[in-house]
Structure 1
Amino acid sequence: MYSDPRLRALFDPVSVAVVGASRRKRKLGHVITANLLRSGYKGKIYPVNPEGGEILDLQAYPSISDLPASPDLGIIVLPRDKVLGAMRELADMRTGAAIIISAGFRETGRDGYELEQEIAEFAQRRNMVLLGPNSLGMINARVGLNATIAQAKPRDGSIAFFSQSGALCAAILDWADGEDIGFSKFFSLGNKAGLSEANVLDALTDDPDTKVVIGYLESVDNGQEFLNKARMLSDKKPVIMIKAGTTQAGARATSSHTGSLAGSFQACRAAFRQSGVIQVDDLESLFNLARAFAAQPLPQGPNLAVVTNSGGPGILAADACEESGLHLMRPSPETLEELKQVLPPFAAIYNPIDILGDAPAERYRATLEAVARDEGVNAVLVLLTPTASAEIEATAQAIIDVSKESDKPFFACFMGEERIAPGRDMLLKAGIPSYGYPEAAIRAIQAMHAHFRWLHRPIPVEVCFRRDMGKAGQIIRNALRIGATELSLAQSLEVAQAYELPVPETRLVRTSDQAVRAARKIGYPVALKIASPNLSHRSEVNGVALNIETPQDLRKAWASITMRAQCRRPDAYISGCLLQAMGPIKAREVIIGFRQDPQFGPLMHFSLASPSAEILGDVAYRLAPLTLQEAQGIMREIKSYPLLRGVRGEAPANVGAVEDIILSMSQMAVDFPEIREAELNPVLVDEKDALVTDLRLTIG
């Protein structure tokens, strides 16, 4: 079952030692021992307490070495400074796994961090599986193992949950108990000195007890490993996650909470997208989706039928569908004819299907039977408002009965609270997700359809362009050798040429006379750009002149540019100017680049070269290396993409040429991690070709 056989000692132990067990009810060592007994765990439980005696009618042992047999799993609830000693004793007993509940490690500062590192290295050296420290514990409902310090009694279910936050785990267990949600596995990762989220995803990939995996993330330690494991898991079952630490305040809170870096939100979102993970923004959505995925089949297409007894909620559902990409399809002629037979004359039958406010349960039943038979319908959403005529429980039963006879997913939205509660509870117990508002239901349906599309996506096409890595590497190494943190434009253009990027003919000129001679060979019109290793952005000195058409204008531009640069940045070394052939005049401008994310590696970005892209955030991101489909997707994701396709009679830009540049930059980002940031700004693209006119490479 487990890809790593050592995990059996953690997930399915034959015996458990509670190191730090206590007779006092409020002590964590007592809570864990009581939870193991209350959850029905059938294995041996060995409380370890210096006083020996009995704890909860179990024989207690003064030390680990006094145990009558080697435990598979050791749960450590001791002061921080005693944890490493307990780990050594467990290792000497050949214990396979340990859960460290104790806190006070990397989240507290340097001393705690160093002790945690020592424990992690010891566990690795002795081949022990480690969960924590600073963990709430874990649950395996199949074997009745509740090795947590939470007070709630977990229910058996098909949803696996993991989180870095132990307190959040405790709250969710309590909430899930009230909502009748069960779990197959439940992990509190804590500081992740041993098991990480990638290990958990790997373990759950072939877990037969788990249908849906959900998680709360604060940080990711090994982004590429996470990406690979998440992709493998999402190819078999849905993975839904919420990412915390997406603001500066949240990132600071994350660091103080678990001692981890929150990392780039854009990189994490790109990782989710590229691995098939469904990202949500709040805990309510996390469990709304989990419940839907666990109970209903996936919609085989985007066509949704909405049946309602009120026009207003139907309109809200229609608006939400429009925004989500779902389609309110027109019923087939046969379905329309059948609806005319069972509905009053004033009913709306064209979807949303409004069966009117006086609709009894049998009218719902007849309508749903007709809709469920329509081959064009992929999913059904039933809306009910508690009118005076509404038969709440009978309508819920009608939905349950019709859904059992159909292979299509059914969803409900019973709006209200007190009157609809019995019907809502009936639906949830029957496995039909029920929501308080249409928008939440639509989001769940859209996520399920998106997962269906992920499972049926085309085979990725990997593209590798020819490049001269030796030439590019020599330029970068030479610059690093002299302590440079950024390549000059001339050096950057050489790297671009090594990757066969389309760049205009460029000359470094040190005098106006050299500029005139070079322009004569290149051909007018030309562009002139200030060249300085100290100027990251030429705009700060207004150091660019375009469309220069005569030698006289070129000399004037030279004098003007160099004088402005010397006046505004007297500290900057001016090595001359770069003279370039002008690109196409009517081209559209785009920006392509990447930066090295500390957790996920090279993060590509794409946008139009306009202030609105930066101000409004119209930028798309993907993690390198990119497939052909991902290069196409990063372009089409921005809201301004239609401008590249041509508007108001403009010819469409050659997006294929831009895709080639994106893929070449993706390859460069993977080839040379020493390039910390790269940006092509702008890339000029018209209907014929694309041209890289300026680029910046930061190294380190």
Structure 2
Amino acid sequence: MLDFFFKPKTVAVIGASREPGKVGHDVLRNLLDFNFPGHIFPINPKADEILGLKAYPSILEVPEDVDLVVIAVRAPFVPEVIDQCGQKGVKAAVVLTSGFKETGLEGAKLEKKLVETARSHGIRIIGPNCLGILDTYSRLNATFAGLKPIKGEIGFFSQSGALCLAVLEWSKAEKIGLSRFVSLGNKCDVNEIECLRMLAEDPHTKVIMGYIEGITDGRAFTEVACEVAREKPVIIFKSGTTAAGARAASSHTGSLAGSEQAFEASVKRSGLIRAKTLREFFNLALYFAFMPPLAGPYLGIVTNSGGPGIVAADACENSALELPSLSSETVEKLRKVLPPYASFYNPVDITGDADAARYEKTLEVLIEDQRLNGLLVILSRTATVNPDEVAEILTKDKAQKPIVACFLGEESVKKARKKLLKGKVPHYEYPEEAVKVLEKAWLYEWWRKKPPAKVKKLKVNFKQVAETLQIVRSEGRSHLLDHEVKQILEAYGFVFPKSLVARTTDEAILAAKVIGYPVVLKVLSPQIQHKSDVGGVKVNIRDEEELIKAFEEIIINVRKRLPGISVLGVIVQEMAPKGKEVIVGFIRDPQFGPLVMFGLGGIYVEVLKDVTFRLAPLAKEEALEMIREIKAYPVLKGIRGEPEVDMDSLARAIVSMGQLAADFPELSEGEVNPLIVGPKGQKTIAVDARLSLGGEK
């Protein structure tokens, strides 16, 4: 896929310039300097020759077929140039020119014209407003960057030209080569999804790096990323995920969801390795470019200084990694090579008077310990240790076990760091950075090895939901009434307390007698989403006197806070059994579709924000992962003698909510809050719920 961009036999630079510093000149210079093996045709109506190559006034006058064009003319002329390329039979164009949709409405119109013209001729476009493309194996450097790329195994795509330049700088500084490189720019045609597929199929690409700002089709991106990540590590850095990008919503779920939550849910499903900072972006690439997979979470640490070792141990404690005890056999071997005042446990402190030989003997022992999946070697510069000698030891081919280094210091370890990188040993400035990289390496390998989760459809009453929604739509409403919400959720397996609607205190008294005390009273109004916020809920009502008082207080509270609102009455509801309060909801993201939320429930959910998200529909395994992810998970597991909640019932509720969201795109958002979940044998009860229309019809 897209090979016609990266393996052309002929390239034309339209807008080639005789003047150094101009984009059209620099692209031509890069093609020549990188020894492109095919024919290069400069296109410039005012020049006969540029950089020793015969120039042509138009692409139409080039005497050969042209596989790839690189366009560097002013924006208003680009559609016309693309039309000429179509007449010539060109199928691939890289448009470097800026001045399109990134500049505003007029630029967007021009870009639309560009796309329409290209599609009429079957031309694929990378750009516009981009830095260009390169392939180090086909000797194609069709960029205007000022750096010569190094051949390697990292494929990179980016929506930012500045990030492209940063990656080229990093590649040169760390002597880490690239395979293919794509600056997507405005991605009017070729996008991040196609880049993922293309780099997955490229035999020279071992690791994929990508910088993205926005995703056009989140569902397709997730699906493709999931396929690619099972074959190659994909490291992604995404910007534009703050709350500023989130849309307003009336439910708790909506207020907590945003572009960040949607993208993170995509990452969890697809196995992408996400970098949260640019520094981590490069740190991760360094590891995956050099090291074999980290087969397990068990890390061994070697240090010549106690402090940094403790820092690394603390970082492990707060990660998915573990510091296992060393085997008795390993400890005995260490006692033979280390002084008696050393620490023979994990971390292994070989003390401040250690030299390179002590490092080497210690590593020889630890590499043989089958309990350890990887090693972190920390060095603090002392009078007795030569960092260069230790670096030399680490670069020896000792085992297929990942080893990363952290040499603390600046000038004193600068030469050693270069030696480590040359020997393909990742080096990190601080212990915490090394641990974070190793953690993500392990989590990626864990995800890659586990069987893909399969979504299994639950048996539900689809017809009942469709009929209820048809009634709501026919009445022109977006918010569903309580009894409609109940009908829909019951059709998907949710269980509600017994409830009756009462318009007067007499009806409320009769309803309470039928249901049985204690009861709960809730205001019934199509215009009220959060009943507690307006004093519309009274709980644990135990007799008739309390009921009358509570009924009157609810009506007074609502009339006072929301004068003129329509109140249809009060719901008299059975008191739910004791249990843990959680929330299960969904919201519809513009790019990624329905997102399911799970977390600690009740009225404080927006304050505590102990929630997690997944894409819907989802498998039971994903629902169980969601349960384990929240901070309150130990509470659900049972503390101080309390029983564990019914995890299967809870997981089913999460899966059901996801299936409802996927089955009915016209539902924009919804939630059950609180959902009362108790131990096995006790029914999981939906105490309060809401649903809203407004999604796709």
| TM-score, normalisation: structure 1 | 0.95
Name the SS for the 2:171 alignment partner.
helix
- Asked if residue 38 in structure 1 is aligned to residue 33 in structure 2, the reply is yes
Report how far residue 319 of structure 1 moved.
1.0
Name the SS for the 2:466 alignment partner.
helix
Partner of 1:255: none
| Counterparts of 1:15 and 1:107, CA distance in 2 | 30
| Counterparts of 1:527 and 1:537, CA distance in 2 | 15
Q: Answer yes or no: is the 8 Å Cα contact 1:217–1:244 preserved in 2.
A: yes
Report how far residue 595 of structure 1 moved.
0.5
- Asked if residue 510 in structure 1 is aligned to residue 503 in structure 2, the reply is yes
Aligned match of 1:694 in 656, 672, 688?
688
Partner of 1:298: 293
Report how far residue 493 of structure 1 moved.
1.2
| Counterparts of 2:245 and 2:684, CA distance in 1 | 40
Aligned match of 2:479 in 486, 496, 507?
486
Partner of 1:571: 564
Aligned match of 1:632 in 624, 629, 651?
624
- Asked if residue 533 in structure 1 is aligned to residue 526 in structure 2, the reply is yes
> Structure 1: which amino acid aligns with 2:632?
S
- Asked if residue 546 in structure 1 is aligned to residue 539 in structure 2, the reply is yes
Report how far residue 553 of structure 1 moved.
2.9
| Counterparts of 1:612 and 1:524, CA distance in 2 | 27
Partner of 2:131: 136
| Counterparts of 1:616 and 1:525, CA distance in 2 | 29
Q: Answer yes or no: is the 8 Å Cα contact 2:342–2:351 preserved in 1.
A: yes
Q: Supply the RMSD in Å over aligned alpha carbons.
A: 1.8
| Counterparts of 1:597 and 1:83, CA distance in 2 | 35
Report how far residue 613 of structure 1 moved.
4.2
| Counterparts of 2:646 and 2:375, CA distance in 1 | 42
Instruction: Indicate the larger mover: 458-467 or 154-163.
Output: 458-467
Q: Answer yes or no: is the 8 Å Cα contact 2:597–2:613 preserved in 1.
A: yes
Name the SS for the 1:658 alignment partner.
helix
* Partner deviation per Cα, 1:342-388 (whole Å, 9 max, x = no partner): 11121111121111222221111111111111111211111111101
Name the SS for the 1:435 alignment partner.
coil
Q: Answer yes or no: is the 8 Å Cα contact 1:676–1:699 preserved in 2.
A: yes
Q: Which ranges in structure 1 are unaligned for 5 or more consecutive residues?
A: 253-261
Name the SS for the 1:25 alignment partner.
coil
* Partner deviation per Cα, 1:558-578 (whole Å, 9 max, x = no partner): 222122212221131111122
Q: Answer yes or no: is the 8 Å Cα contact 2:229–2:272 preserved in 1.
A: yes
* 1:125–1:490 distance in 2 versus 1, CA, 3 Å: farther
| Counterparts of 2:33 and 2:304, CA distance in 1 | 46
Partner of 1:498: 491
Q: Which ranges in structure 2 are unaligned for 5 or more consecutive residues?
A: 248-256
Partner of 1:590: 582
Name the SS for the 2:395 alignment partner.
helix
Matches within 5 A, 1:353-392: 353-392=348-387
Q: Answer yes or no: is the 8 Å Cα contact 1:205–1:232 preserved in 2.
A: no
| Counterparts of 1:376 and 1:650, CA distance in 2 | 35
> Structure 1: which amino acid aligns with 2:18?
R
Report how far residue 478 of structure 1 moved.
2.9
Report how far residue 422 of structure 1 moved.
1.5
Report how far residue 248 of structure 1 moved.
4.9
Name the SS for the 1:205 alignment partner.
helix
Q: Answer yes or no: is the 8 Å Cα contact 1:244–1:250 preserved in 2.
A: no
- Asked if residue 656 in structure 1 is aligned to residue 656 in structure 2, the reply is no
Q: Answer yes or no: is the 8 Å Cα contact 1:245–1:251 preserved in 2.
A: no
| Counterparts of 1:418 and 1:446, CA distance in 2 | 29
* 1:122–1:484 distance in 2 versus 1, CA, 3 Å: farther
* Partner deviation per Cα, 1:496-518 (whole Å, 9 max, x = no partner): 12222112233333222222333
| Counterparts of 1:124 and 1:539, CA distance in 2 | 55
- Asked if residue 268 in structure 1 is aligned to residue 263 in structure 2, the reply is yes
| Counterparts of 1:50 and 1:649, CA distance in 2 | 85
Report how far residue 298 of structure 1 moved.
1.2
Name the SS for the 1:339 alignment partner.
helix
Report how far residue 611 of structure 1 moved.
5.5
Partner of 1:116: 111
Aligned match of 2:401 in 402, 408, 419?
408
Partner of 2:251: none
Report how far residue 642 of structure 1 moved.
1.1
* Partner deviation per Cα, 1:514-558 (whole Å, 9 max, x = no partner): 223333333332222111111121123210122223334323322
Report how far residue 485 of structure 1 moved.
2.0
* Partner deviation per Cα, 1:6-34 (whole Å, 9 max, x = no partner): x1211211111111111111211111111
| Counterparts of 2:576 and 2:117, CA distance in 1 | 60
| Counterparts of 2:113 and 2:231, CA distance in 1 | 37
* 1:42–1:357 distance in 2 versus 1, CA, 3 Å: same
Q: Answer yes or no: is the 8 Å Cα contact 2:131–2:164 preserved in 1.
A: yes
Identity over aligned pairs, percent: 43
> Structure 2: which amino acid aligns with 1:418?
E
Matched residue count: 683
> Structure 2: which amino acid aligns with 1:606?
F
Aligned match of 1:477 in 440, 453, 470?
470
> Structure 1: which amino acid aligns with 2:644?
P
Aligned match of 1:421 in 414, 439, 443?
414
Q: Answer yes or no: is the 8 Å Cα contact 1:165–1:188 preserved in 2.
A: yes
Partner of 2:512: 519
Q: Answer yes or no: is the 8 Å Cα contact 1:76–1:99 preserved in 2.
A: yes
* Partner deviation per Cα, 1:70-100 (whole Å, 9 max, x = no partner): 2111111121111111111111211111111
Partner of 2:637: 645
Q: Answer yes or no: is the 8 Å Cα contact 1:490–1:508 preserved in 2.
A: no
Matches within 5 A, 1:77-88: 77-88=72-83
- Asked if residue 683 in structure 1 is aligned to residue 680 in structure 2, the reply is no
| Counterparts of 2:429 and 2:166, CA distance in 1 | 22
* 1:497–1:82 distance in 2 versus 1, CA, 3 Å: same
Name the SS for the 1:434 alignment partner.
coil
* 1:98–1:263 distance in 2 versus 1, CA, 3 Å: farther
Q: Answer yes or no: is the 8 Å Cα contact 1:612–1:618 preserved in 2.
A: no
Partner of 1:195: 190
Instruction: Indicate the larger mover: 545-554 or 282-291.
Output: 545-554
Name the SS for the 2:370 alignment partner.
coil
| TM-score, normalisation: structure 2 | 0.95
